[in-house]
Amino acid sequence: MSKLMIFLSLMLWVGPVQDKMVKTNVTDNISLKLPQDFYAMSPEDIAQRYPSVRSPIGAYTNSARLVDLSVNISATRWREQDIEMAKGFFKSSLFNLYDKVNLIQEDIKTINKRQYIVFEFESRINGDQYSLDKKNPVRTYTYIQYLIVKGKTIVFSFSCPIQLKDKWQPVAPEIMNSVKVKGGV
């Protein structure tokens, strides 16, 4: 009985994936469709979740604050004709960020007449079992795509805890396939 109550509580807390997708303007030139319950993160949320000198140009989370999507401009500069080389560089960078990466998909796809480098993967960052708070490994499902446009790289990153992967894996490509970029950044 208690396992059933825990499961039902978790389902109510996490909630169902929204069927309705809403067009969201990240900037004047970048838009995408997000589930209806996603909202823009506050500057405090962005600072906490994305501690970096280079803040995302857009960051969104779901109502449970477990599933995130961010849009950022990468510091690396590439030419559009170097997309294959850039793909190898970004793949190597991903493998350096995590202790373990299980690639589900690695591709170059045309979305709305633009070529994107796409990676879908599960990752793990080991916790520190010897620290005072004994952190456990963090496991995540991520769908990330890179667009090289006018010498800049726009990074679209969707992530959620691995426990929610089955629920969100069909939604991530739907979001990413809705990305529209007009002109430059």
**pLDDT value for 53:** 75
pLDDT at 77: 87
Residue from 23, 61, 24, 25 nearest 42 by CA:
61
Digits of tens for pLDDT over the chain (185 positions)? 444 444 434 444 444 444 699 999 999 999 999 999 999 999 888 888 888 778 899 999 999 999 999 999 988 889 999 999 999 999 999 999 998 999 999 999 999 999 999 999 999 988 665 566 667 788 999 999 999 999 899 999 999 999 999 999 999 999 999 999 997 66
With respect to residue 133, please indicate whether it lies within any of the assigned structural domains.
yes
**Phi, psi angles (nearest 5°) of residue 6:** -65, -45
Residue 4 lies in a domain: no
Domain with 61 in it:
17-181
| Residue 11 resides in a domain | no
Residue 78 lies in a domain: yes
Q: Is the dihedral of CA 176, 115, 93, 120 positive or negative?
A: positive
DSSP state of 98: S
In a domain, 119, yes or no: yes
Helix residue ranges per DSSP H, 114-170: 165-168
Task: Specify if 5 maps to a domain.
Answer: no
Bridging pattern class, strands 30-35 and 21-25: antiparallel
Report pLDDT for 113. Answer: 93
Per-residue pLDDT, 132: 63
Q: Judge whether 121 and 102 are in contact, CB under 8 Å.
A: yes
How much is the pLDDT for 50? 82
Q: Quick count: other Cβ atoms within 10 Å of Cβ 34? A: 24
Residue 6's pLDDT is what? 43
114, HSE (Cβ side, Cα atoms, 13 Å): 23
pLDDT the model gives residue 62: 95
Is the separation of the CB atoms in 139 and 122 below 8 Å?
yes
How many whole angstroms separate alpha carbon 23 and alpha carbon 167?
A: 21
| CATH code (residue 130) | 3.40.1000.10
The answer as to whether 87 is a domain residue is yes
Q: How many domains does the chain have?
A: 1
Question: For position 137, what pLDDT does the model report?
Answer: 85
Say how many CA atoms lie within 13 Å of 108 toward its Cβ: 14
For residue 101, is it within any domain? yes
